[in-house]
Amino acid sequence: MKNIVIVNSTFRKGGNSEALASQFEKGALEAGNAVTKVNLRDLGLKFCIGCLSCLKTGKCVQQDGVNDLLPVIKKADILVLASPVYYYCVSGQLKTFLDRLNPLFGQELALKDVYLLLTSAEEEKSAMDGAIKAVEGWVECFEGVRLAGIVYGTGADGKGTVQATKAYSEAYELGKSLS
């Protein structure tokens, strides 16, 4: 059994990224994993102010839902990040969230694998290269952590349209394959 945290970064309820996150969750639960799903829209997410006090205290000075998640993510074996691709990069919400995970830097983590669930109106996978690069940069900062897989939800140009793509079943199968 794996301890999995899924982070949905879209603020649009019922959006394509959320649909992929839900499919991944369904598969992971069916495989017998422990799953915590987080919607960033529910956290009152604030920006990192770069004070670096988190490196001394292990928590952020910002008062929102992120501090409560830090111990959950620290104990997770797998972190799943779901994001729409905006202007060829991850959503601003996901980038802000990754910045806010700075208190975990230099700490011993159970985390080994990060999976990325991306959606885009563009048909070409290359439209997601910037988003992948952004997450790879974050992953590289944590020893022993790797970007283990990506689901490419291309051609998802309207709310819910990812359900008609192969990415929808791929997200489920990926979640189900983890145990």
pTM for the structure as a whole = 0.97
Is the confidence at residue 179, as pLDDT, over 90? no
The CATH number of the domain holding residue 10 is: 3.40.50.360
- Spatial separation of the C-alpha atoms in residues 171 and 3, rounded to whole Å: 17
Q: Domain limits at 132?
A: 3-176
- Spatial separation of the C-alpha atoms in residues 90 and 135, rounded to whole Å: 8
Q: Could you give the number of structural domains in the chain?
A: 1
In sequence order, the β-bridge partners of residue 53 are none
Using an 8 Å Cβ cutoff, are 45 and 63 in contact?
A: no
pLDDT in tens, 142-171: 999 999 999 999 999 999 999 999 999 999
Is the confidence at residue 99, as pLDDT, over 90? yes
